[in-house]
Amino acid sequence: MSRVLTVPYLPVLGPVHPDLCTPEMFIEVFAKVLTASRAGVALPFDKDRRWSPVKRDMVLVDEIVHRPGTTIIPVLTPRRGGTVKTYFYGDSPDLNALQAATRRCCTTYGAAHGRVISFSTNPTRQANHTRVHLKEFRPAPSAATGPAVIPLDDCAPEVTTTFAEFAAAMADHGFDSLRQRRDAGHRDGPILVTQAADRVIGAIGPLTVMPDQPGRRMLLPQYFAVLPEHRGQGHGRALWRAVERWGAERRADYQLVQAQAGGASDQLFRSEGLRSLGYASTLPA
């Protein structure tokens, strides 16, 4: 299968470092993914383990299609009524056939939703595309620029209380869920913020470093957003560069991030010199 991995993105795990996609390393990692899937646990190097050691994503082994030039791997995620995600690896996917196969899997396994996920270096117009970026922390990160960035925990109390308002406004970016975990006492890592008029108006976090499968230190992806009325003023770039410095200071080797192709974050990452690894394209079934 490593021959058809045009983008280093594995079922259940998501984006991985390109070095994991050598034939030997891929076989080892995917075997561990299957074992963890059967056991219902998150692997030690799975980014989702920071939220919980339990992971219910199930690789539908009996539905896997593997032939020269093509591999299809369906995965059942039980949350929110159940979703079958069909991962297609290869050239020229037959999207209509993949959608139909995904719907059949939804019926068979009682899932309410289905998606087809394919990968390429040149996306089509038929799906929703995210670009996978790689940031390596050598050489040193760019210098600080723009608005001041500080940890949320170091803000004045009157500023800290406005994080709830920010999180509600940026719920689609994951911040309301993060705020709920924070209010429940979970400490998943620092959240960095920018502020204006004693209000949180931009944030990125939580910040966490963990080892990948070979033992390199990866900085996990963060939630990242700036209130719409404050965009275009340098807050996003300042937050991102603060994260780069945080990761470098903690000897992180790299970070993988995804961004909506052509969106503000995607443009920022490209301008900051991150390496594009290709696209993941998602189509409802």
Give 48-96 pLDDT, tens digit per residue.
Answer: 999 999 999 999 999 999 988 899 999 999 988 999 999 999 888 899 9
Give the pLDDT score at 4. 75
The pLDDT assigned to 67 comes to 87
- Average pLDDT of 201-228? 96
| The pLDDT of residue 231 is above 70 | yes
pLDDT tens digit sequence for 100-135: 999 999 999 999 999 999 998 887 666 688 999 999
Residue 206, preceding peptide bond in cis (omega within 30° of 0): yes
Torsion over CA: 211, 216, 217, 218 (sign): negative
**Each residue of 129-146: pLDDT tens digit?**
899 999 998 766 666 678
The arithmetic mean of pLDDT across residues 9-38, rounded, is 90
**Dist. CA 2–CA 33, nearest whole Å:** 15
CB 135 within 8 A of CB 244: yes
Q: pLDDT value at position 72?
A: 95
- Side-chain-facing half-sphere of 65: CA atoms under 13 Å: 13
Q: Which residues of 161-177 are buried (b: 16+ CB within 10 A; e: fewer)?
A: ebbbebbebbeebebbe
Beta bridge mates, 204? 192, 224
CA–CA distance, 3 with 55 (Å, rounded to integer):
28
Domains detected in the chain:
2-129 (no CATH), 138-252 (3.40.630.30)
Q: Quick one: pLDDT at residue 6? A: 86
Euclidean distance between CA atoms 173 and 167, whole angstroms: 9
More confident of the two residues 5 and 177: 177
Peptide bond into 44 cis (omega under 30): no
